[in-house]
Amino acid sequence: MTPRWYLICLVSLVALPIRAISQETTSSRTDMNACILCHNSLDDDEMATPVSAWRRSVHRSEGVSCQDCHGGLPNSMVKENAHNPDAGYIGVPDSTVVPDVCGTCHQQQRENYVTSPHGIAGSFSPNCVDCHNDHEIVHPQVTRIAIPDKCNNCHEDSTLEEFIGLVTQALVPISDARQEVETLRPTGVSVDFIQAQVELAKNTYSSQVSHVFTFSTIKPQVKFLQMDFDEINKDITAVRDEVNTRRKFGWVIIVLLVFMAGIIWMYRKSLPDEE
């Protein structure tokens, strides 16, 4: 084996473990958190259950772990060190600080919530965990909208149904448009401008509709969003038409090439054989 091949093999052997490390998932790194390891080994279901719930959450895949919400030292298996208040340990956050804890990452949602009827009331109830769960946090989807039982203490069913209807009118078109973009992208026709419009609509929803909880604000914003969706759908239709046109043109070219190949073959067949 030449020195060059020795060098290539050596580089490959070094690169393999580096690549394996770089491909390690965020969730596997957070699973090594001492909080996870310790609580998962406890016999107390109340203390161990949050681990399994967190493992099903979007927080796990996004690298958000125990200390991000509860504080403390995630690298110590000693309870006194892990739960040290000097390390920022707060345990179970009080309902009045939950919006601030969640707002560390979700700033816009916190802003909308604290100025909403739920936040202005002062008790911050219902708060983030009442609607989104505390450990099994999932991506917001219309199919997952669940009105907690406590909503019925203050709101009529008709009010809750109207709220869900408005949210559905805003979120479903965003989800559908995103799927359309991903379906059309492999065709080769540019859809970046449509994706930009969809992201703008999503950002508008997040800043103007999400966690506002006042119909006087939500209704006009949803109406404006529907106008945006009309334009987005027109652009999606235009891209579909372009894709169909290109396909038809491609078939025409193929037919012409086959026809020309047939003509050339017939012409060559008509030529006298060379002796």
Burial of 256: CB neighbours in 10 Å, binned 0-12, 13-18, 19+: exposed
What are phi and psi for residue 249, nearest 5 degrees? -65, -40
C-alpha span between 8 and 95 (Å, rounded): 59
Query: Taking a C-beta distance cutoff of 8 angstroms, is the pair 90, 70 a contact?
Result: yes
- DSSP letter assigned to residue 146: -
C-alpha span between 117 and 214 (Å, rounded): 8
- DSSP letter assigned to residue 167: H
| Higher-scoring residue by pLDDT: 177, 31 | 177
Nearest-CA neighbor of 70 among 52, 31, 97? 97
Q: Kindly report the pTM of this predicted structure.
A: 0.69
Return the residue matching tokens 């966690």: 211
C-alpha span between 233 and 244 (Å, rounded): 16
C-alpha span between 143 and 256 (Å, rounded): 50
Looking at every residue in the chain, the average pLDDT score rounds to 81
> What Cα–Cα distance (Å) separates residue 143 from each residue in 96, 109, 139, 187, 229?
29, 20, 11, 30, 20
Question: In the numeric block, which tokens belong to residue 69?
Answer: 């919400």
Mean pLDDT across 50-61: 90
Q: For residue 97, give the amino acid letter.
A: V
Residue 24 has pLDDT above 60, yes or no: no
Query: Taking a C-beta distance cutoff of 8 angstroms, is the pair 118, 125 a contact?
Result: yes
Residue 82 banded pLDDT, cuts 50, 70, 90: confident
Residue 41 banded pLDDT, cuts 50, 70, 90: confident
C-alpha span between 135 and 116 (Å, rounded): 24
Question: In the numeric block, which tokens belong to residue 241?
Answer: 């038409």
Task: Write the pLDDT tens digit of every residue in 65-78.
Answer: 999 889 888 888 88
Half-sphere exposure of 249 (CA within 13 A, CB side): 6
Task: Write the pLDDT tens digit of every residue in 100-117.
Answer: 889 999 999 999 998 888
Q: What is the DSSP string of 11-65?
A: HHHHHHHHHHHHT--HHHHHTT-HHHHHHHT-S-HHHHHHHHHHHTSHHHHTT--
Question: In the numeric block, which tokens belong to residue 214?
Answer: 């006042």
